[in-house]
Amino acid sequence: MNDFYKNTYNPDVLSCLANLSNDEVFTPPDIVNKMLDMLPQEFFTDKNTTFLDPAAKSGVFLREIAKRLLVGLENEIPDLQERINHIFHKQLFGIAITEITSLLSRRSLYCSKHPNGNYSIAKFDNAEGNIRFRKIKHFWRGEKCTFCGAPQKIPYNRDDSMEVYAYEFIHTIKPEEIFKMKFDVIIGNPPYQLSDGGNQASAKPIYQYFVQQAKKLNPRYLTMIIPSRWFAGGKGLDAFRFEMIADTRIRYLDDFYNAADCFPGVEIKGGICYFLWDRNNRGDCTVTSHGSEGRSSIMTRPLVEKNSDVFIRQNEGIALLKKVVTFGEPTFDSLVSSRKPFGFPTNYSGKSKTGKNAIKLYERGKITYISTTDIDRNLNWVNTHKIFISKAYNAGDNYPHQIINKPIYAGENTACTETYLVMGPFETKAMAYNVISYIETRFFRFLVFLRKISQDATSKVYSFVPVQDFSEPWTDEKLYAKYGINEEEIAFIESMIRPMELSGGDN
């Protein structure tokens, strides 16, 4: 019986499946099985257990569940065909995200894209079996869909013959009406994002809607694999982040810093995670952090530490952060400006030539010139000693990281566009350079790393970093000694954070 699916077709086909787009990432069977391993295994010996994949793409979740049920119910339903019919008719259900994935999912589960055809291993009296697909339209209110927030433009508003990415599961206020039944387990890998019509590849997350909609169905267990960016919130995820980190029913969380460890060849900024939500069992969460080079750590802990509002991904960072917090020092975010420190957007450009009383304007990759009349915000910062730091920095998914870009001593008679944030101002040039020595330490950037999960580095990512006495320069050795960082903790910091080249002069 273990060989049933193997003898029917190659079970590794779905491991090799190319991804259709960045919102349709197919889940490899080995990851699916790790997610299934988190569930009570007696579910697979119970003929009454029901499963739903609300975002079926390849059908791999339902297929792997079927394989376990075929073995687990062998004693209770000895006849193979009777067992197949019971499992596929009574226990496994899916909602496909597109028409093509509905066909693929049925082919994976029923061995036929039409389960009422001659080649289906479980005969249905209709062409979709228990894997349904309905072409749903967006519900426009103003210029956006009221359910998913998709903009009212192509590709989301076009004729019925083309895909509009309106997913049935999240485009209803009554998800329980789709199958008119309750589910013990909801499991899947939902679409991650939709283009929001912004610049370049700007997109808004939508996976949170699938998690929230699944909770409305109140299953006994919920497990999904989603991007880890929700840890940091932002761009429609703040409410979802607060909801998740406060939910003590999340009992297991596997977090992969590099998404390629789950989805080979796929880049998902901020990594990927899967979790188990247990309706009837509250408590601390067992967090498994999967770092670089196969390194991982396991800790059972609250998702949010006392007197904090963030989830710290790195188990090893918890004890280290507590050592720092006990000093009760002011935090560095108080020295970091908000966006557009001088009012100039990223695409603003000054004049190429200097003139009388001109001010240097630091833009993305170049310096131009403006006058004081061009500045409508923080004009008093222009003639101070300050530091510019990139608001966004792509650290990449390979460790060790640099985490943030090199700081720039900007000095007097300078301003910047939104490309940068301002640190300071400081009383003297020497003090500014002492701050730069601090920023360049691994210690400083590790504490930033605990809060920074995407390329964005707004002032809040510096809220774990303590302010020092900047009348003197700082090194990692001085900081490790001050905060009692032990050798094991130092080794972890230095495995995650690479050295930063010293500035060595004005930039």
- pLDDT digits 0-9 by tens, 96-113: 999 999 999 999 999 998
Strand pairing report for 185-188 and 51-56: parallel
CA distance 353 to 331: 39
Predicted local confidence at residue 191, as pLDDT = 94
CA distance 338 to 91: 52
Residue found under tokens 């060595």: 504
What number is the average pLDDT over the span 130-135? 95
| Residue 408 Cα distances to 81, 195, 491, 502, angstroms | 70, 34, 28, 11
**What does the mean pLDDT of the chain come to?**
89
Does residue 377 have a pLDDT over 80? yes
Does residue 5 have a pLDDT over 80? no
Does residue 404 have a pLDDT over 50? yes
Strand pairing report for 385-390 and 221-227: unpaired
As a whole-number percent, the residues of the chain with pLDDT over 90 amount to 71
Q: pTM of the entire structure?
A: 0.82
Does residue 413 have a pLDDT over 60? yes
Predicted local confidence at residue 379, as pLDDT = 96
C-alpha closest to that of 483 among 426, 436, 432, 442: 442
**Domain 1-136+171-189 belongs in CATH node 3.40.1350:** no
Predicted local confidence at residue 201, as pLDDT = 56
Predicted local confidence at residue 363, as pLDDT = 95
* DSSP symbols for 456-506: B--GGGGTTSBP--TTS---HHHHHHHHT--HHHHHHHHHHB-------S-
Position 17 confidence tier, pLDDT thresholds 50, 70, 90: very low
CA distance 128 to 126: 6
What number is the average pLDDT over the span 493-503? 83
Helical (H) or strand (E) element with 92: strand 92-96
Beta bridge partners, 306, equal none
Predicted local confidence at residue 197, as pLDDT = 61
The domain limits of the chain are 1-136+171-189, 220-313, 332-496
As a whole-number percent, the residues of the chain with pLDDT over 70 amount to 91
Tokens of residue 394, six digits: 């792509």
Does residue 276 have a pLDDT over 80? yes
CA distance 61 to 246: 28
Does residue 502 have a pLDDT over 80? no
Q: DSSP character for 137?
A: P
Residue 213 near residue 169, CB atoms below 8 Å = yes
What number is the average pLDDT over the span 465-493? 96
Least confident of 30-39, 170-179, 305-314, 458-467: 305-314
CA distance 201 to 70: 44
Position 142 confidence tier, pLDDT thresholds 50, 70, 90: confident
C-alpha closest to that of 461 among 292, 338, 329, 377: 338
Does residue 199 have a pLDDT over 80? no
What number is the average pLDDT over the span 139-151? 91
Predicted local confidence at residue 159, as pLDDT = 72
Position 430 confidence tier, pLDDT thresholds 50, 70, 90: very high
Position 50 confidence tier, pLDDT thresholds 50, 70, 90: very high
If DSSP states are collapsed to H, E and C, what string results for 252-309? Answer: EEEEECCHHHCCCCCCCCCCEEEEEEECCCCCCEEEEEECHHHCEEEEEECCCCCCCC
